């Protein structure tokens, strides 16, 4: 099945009208309350662009920790509880320039002053990351992405801001907006784009049920920490 904004948008319209008949190191951006990321999508969103796709993800408890498993052909989901339904998400590769945080959780983050005078802490990422979000109630998150796509003609034409507000399952919201920022993907990083896995390939390897090593060959501390807290687990 091909990818692309138009195909997924048509599928969501069909769902809404009731006419429809679902070993890699972690590189996702994990948003917390108040975080806002500035990024340039690598994916254009056009048909056939496999740097953008939809996925279905189970989230469930194993002993005392939360875990994720992809719902996809060839992946054994027999350990998923019968009453667990997979969340429908869209995901894409992007070059993340920076993330602004309301709290300093890392000493390397630089303190800056936001537009309202509030202190923020800037994490300079400057690397490729996966952005994965649910479609939201009545597709409100997805529709914001489609608006940007329609305004730009393709997702990879500018810098986007994504902000999370809220901490729980029922009070969390996301805002996606086009910005006037002029940053581009550095020329020396452009050659890495072709080596990025497809979205489906990334999630199959990372969430097939097989523990994945980190970039340096050891267990990923970020993944271990996040999977103990459902608020931050692939939200």
Mean pLDDT, the chain, whole residue set: 84
What's residue 209's pLDDT? 76
d(CA 12, CA 22): 12
Helix axes 5-17, 140-152, angle to 10 degrees: 140
What is the CB-side half-sphere exposure of residue 28 using CA atoms within 13 A?
A: 23
Segments of the chain scoring below 50 in pLDDT: 14-24, 210-231, 233-235
What's residue 188's pLDDT? 96
The domain total for the chain is: 1
What's residue 221's pLDDT? 29
- Give the pTM: 0.80
What's residue 5's pLDDT? 77
What's residue 146's pLDDT? 98
What's residue 63's pLDDT? 87
What's residue 145's pLDDT? 98
What's residue 212's pLDDT? 38
Which domain, by its residues, includes 39?
A: 5-21+23-232
53, 70 in Cβ contact below 8 A?
A: no
Tell me how far CA of residue 43 lies from CA of 53, 106, 149, 184, in angstroms: 9, 29, 11, 14
d(CA 165, CA 32): 8
What's residue 26's pLDDT? 80
What's residue 220's pLDDT? 32
């Amino acid at each position: 099945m091909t990818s692309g904004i138009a195909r997924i948008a048509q599928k969501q319209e069909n769902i809404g009208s009731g006419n429809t008949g679902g070993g890699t190191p972690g590189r996702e951006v994990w948003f917390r309350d108040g975080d806002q990321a500035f990024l340039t999508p690598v994916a254009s969103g056009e048909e056939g662009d496999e740097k953008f796709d939809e996925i279905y993800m189970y989230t469930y408890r194993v002993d005392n920790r939360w875990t994720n498993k992809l719902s996809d052909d060839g992946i054994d989901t027999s350990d998923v509880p019968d009453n667990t339904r997979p969340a429908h998400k869209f995901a894409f590769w992007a070059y993340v320039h920076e993330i602004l945080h309301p709290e300093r959780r890392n000493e390397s983050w630089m303190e800056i002053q936001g537009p309202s005078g509030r202190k923020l802490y800037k994490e300079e990422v400057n690397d490729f990351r996966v952005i994965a979000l649910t479609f939201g109630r009545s597709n409100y998150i997805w529709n914001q992405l489609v608006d940007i796509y329609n305004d730009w003609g393709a997702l990879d034409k500018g810098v986007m801001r994504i902000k999370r507000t809220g901490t729980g399952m029922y009070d969390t919201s996301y805002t996606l907006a086009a910005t006037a920022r002029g940053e581009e993907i550095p020329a020396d990083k452009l050659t890495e784009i072709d080596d990025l896995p497809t979205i489906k390939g990334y999630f199959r390897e990372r969430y097939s049920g097989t523990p994945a090593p980190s970039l340096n060959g050891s267990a990923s501390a970020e993944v271990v920490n996040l999977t103990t807290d459902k608020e931050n687990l692939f939200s």
